Structure 1
Amino acid sequence: MKGGDVVCRSEERKKRNQRKLGNRLAPHLCVILLILVSMLVGCGSSTSLTSSVSPEAKTESLGTQVDRDNQQNVQEMAKNEIQTETSNSDTNRTADQEPVTHPAAAQDRKLVYKAEITMEVKEYDAVKLSINDLIHRTGGYITDYSDTQNDHEHGGVYTVRVPAEKFQATITMLEQLDVERFERSYTTQDVTEEYVDLESRLKAKRLVEARLLGYMEKATKAEDLLSFSDTLATTQEEIERIVGRQKYLNNLVSMSTIQLRVYESVENIAAKKLEEAFGERIGRTLNSSLEALVGLGKGILLTAVALLPFVIVFSILVFPIVYIVRRRRRSRGASKQKE
């Protein structure tokens, strides 16, 4: 009996424990079920909302997203291309270190001619006029001139620009002037390589400028617009520098430079002074004689003018008397002949 009571008690205890566990798990299961139901309801509403959106709205949203993506891609491509073009144009600056094989450079060389000439002449003043006339006839001009005169020499220094095609002819004509000593030296500078490099850099910068202008038209953000504007300003400044350098080289190539020094030695100056002194004496003597002769003529003319009134009055008074005397003589001579 005792063994049977123990078994019954143990079974009752198990049942009580199971009931207690069920009572404890029931609230948790209810909460879990509620969460699952709310999740299912939310998914259903979201699907219904998404299904209720019109296809046009979907298309617009997709188009907007695509446009944004395209703009971002364009801006990124623009920045990459600008960096690439800038780096390429900068690398072209090192072209002077490598041989340039350009077909136009081999045919049309860009050469700058310069000459230094020293001339000793007999008469600087006369040669100076001849030099000015020669420069004018060749189509050149004087950019700088200085005149010097001291106890040793009298002369001037010229900086002359003449057309390149008349460079040699001008030097030949200078040598044909009345000179006692003629010295000259030439220098030739080939700027073809630099000029070709400038042309390639200018093309690259022009391309960057055009692309920047296109990107600025498409830019939508203020930051990108400011960035493109700064890069464009820098590019345009570089273009102006390249164009200015090209103009300078073209001017050097088209107009050659001649540094000319002309002087008259002290011996010629002294001889000229002696000749001038003797000539001045002759001139002064001749001038004195001419002045005396002119003075004599003036005196005679003034005397004649002063005596003219007296001559007129004397003629008026004397002429009747002379006429009467001659008539009487004639009448007397006629009466004597009759007798």
Structure 2
Amino acid sequence: MAVRGIRRHRTTALAALLTLLVLAGCSSSGSDDSAATSDNAAGGVAAPAEAGGDTGRVPEQAGAGAADTRVDQRSIIYTGSIQVKVDDVETAARDAVATATRAGGFVGGDQRRSVDADAVAELQLRVPADRFYAVVEQLAGLGVPQRRQIDTQDVTEETIDLDARITSQRARVESARRLLAQASSIGDLVTVENELGRREADLASLEAKKRRLGDLTALSTITVTLVGPEASTAEEENQLGFLVGLKGGWKVFLTSMTVLLTVLGAVLPWLLAFGVPLGALWWLSRRRRRSRPVAPAPVAPVGAPPPAGVSAPPPVPGARSAP
């Protein structure tokens, strides 16, 4: 009897825990946010660093649990763009790639348009955050800088919030796993497995956000545009004036002449193959018609009666008849 009472007590406790688990699952999103907020407010233990941790992460103070928010320890995303006019676009593009490689980065995108002096190359370089400004200065030294823009985004608070939410979600996953080990019926086992799968999916999503944020803070993005000496920029295209219109009209004229000569070159073989023989035949036929003798029309003598079947013209009023 005592053993049955103990089993009944354990079954009742497990049912109560399952009920609490289901109720907690219905409001998981709100509880995650509130748990993260409460952990931040109370100075709770933040999540440990991920394997192969990201540079720029905010370390935690031992014992206090608060984040070190000094300037050199904050999580900052650097993005920049620079446009440089160079003499040789291909050579400058190779130098830009070499600069990023020496800094420990790589090329994230490469678009080029090679048309002699009007060539343009647009490269997207990913470099370590601590080498961002040095690489920008080296890229500016490739030619004549025309435009430069640098943006920064401080994501320290978002990083701290993600750490707290990951810690809370890991604890929820562990509690669900303990309940799964204590399940005694098929129904309880299915319920706990579904809840455990949902919590593990939420944890994986948070960890993916953390890795994405770590990638953005560890590697900065620089978009460098290399233009040839005669390439027109967006600023020049938006300008107005006589010289700008003259330059644009001259380019259009050269383009039109290029198109006209291209069409003429495509049609010329057909003209030589068919036009010359047809023109020669037409000229010969016309010359033959001109060389034929033309018979003179007969002239009737003055006062002779008109031929048979032809009526005489009516007399003209006031005209005198011949004697």
For residues 2 and 14 of structure 2, the distance between their equivalents in structure 1, rounded to whole angstroms, comes to 18
Residues 96 and 193 in structure 1, CA contact (< 8 A), matched pair in contact too: no
Give the CA deviation at 1:135: 1.5
Structure 1 residues 96 and 217: alpha-carbon distance in aligned structure 2, compared to 1, 3 A threshold: closer
Secondary structure at the counterpart of residue 119 of structure 2: strand
Please point out which of 178, 191, 195 is paired with 1:231: 195
Q: In structure 1, what residue type is equivalent to 2:98?
A: D
Give the CA deviation at 1:255: 0.4
Normalising by structure 1, we get a TM-score of 0.55
Give the CA deviation at 1:159: 0.7
1:106 counterpart residue number: 69
Q: Which ranges of structure 2 fall in alignment gaps of 5 or more residues?
A: 44-65, 233-323
Residues 35 and 165 in structure 2, CA contact (< 8 A), matched pair in contact too: no
Secondary structure at the counterpart of residue 265 of structure 1: coil
Residues 175 and 182 in structure 1, CA contact (< 8 A), matched pair in contact too: no
2:7 counterpart residue number: 67
Are 2:80 and 1:140 aligned?
Answer: no
Matches within 5 A, 1:46-85: 61-80=1-20, 83-84=23-24
Identity %: 20
For residues 36 and 173 of structure 2, the distance between their equivalents in structure 1, rounded to whole angstroms, comes to 24
| Deviation readout 1:191-246 (Å, 9 max, x if unpaired) | 22222222111111111111111111111111111000000011111111111111
For residues 161 and 75 of structure 1, the distance between their equivalents in structure 2, rounded to whole angstroms, comes to 54
For residues 127 and 36 of structure 2, the distance between their equivalents in structure 1, rounded to whole angstroms, comes to 29
For residues 217 and 63 of structure 1, the distance between their equivalents in structure 2, rounded to whole angstroms, comes to 21
Q: Which ranges of structure 1 fall in alignment gaps of 5 or more residues?
A: 1-60, 269-339
| Bigger Cα Rg | 1
1:186 counterpart residue number: 150
Structure 1 residues 93 and 135: alpha-carbon distance in aligned structure 2, compared to 1, 3 A threshold: same
Q: In structure 2, what residue type is equivalent to 1:63?
A: V
Q: In structure 1, what residue type is equivalent to 2:9?
A: D
Please point out which of 15, 30, 48 is paired with 1:90: 30
| Deviation readout 1:148-169 (Å, 9 max, x if unpaired) | 1348720211110000000010
Are 2:94 and 1:123 aligned?
Answer: no
Normalising by structure 2, we get a TM-score of 0.57
Are 2:159 and 1:219 aligned?
Answer: no
Secondary structure at the counterpart of residue 104 of structure 2: coil
Matches within 5 A, 1:230-249: 230-249=194-213
Residues 75 and 219 in structure 1, CA contact (< 8 A), matched pair in contact too: no
Give the CA deviation at 1:180: 2.4
For residues 213 and 205 of structure 2, the distance between their equivalents in structure 1, rounded to whole angstroms, comes to 12
Structure 1 residues 120 and 94: alpha-carbon distance in aligned structure 2, compared to 1, 3 A threshold: farther
Please point out which of 114, 117, 120 is paired with 1:155: 120
1:253 counterpart residue number: 217
Residues 92 and 200 in structure 1, CA contact (< 8 A), matched pair in contact too: no
Please point out which of 204, 211, 219 is paired with 2:168: 204
Matches within 5 A, 1:304-319: none
Residues 113 and 189 in structure 1, CA contact (< 8 A), matched pair in contact too: yes
**Structure with the largest fraction of helix:** 1
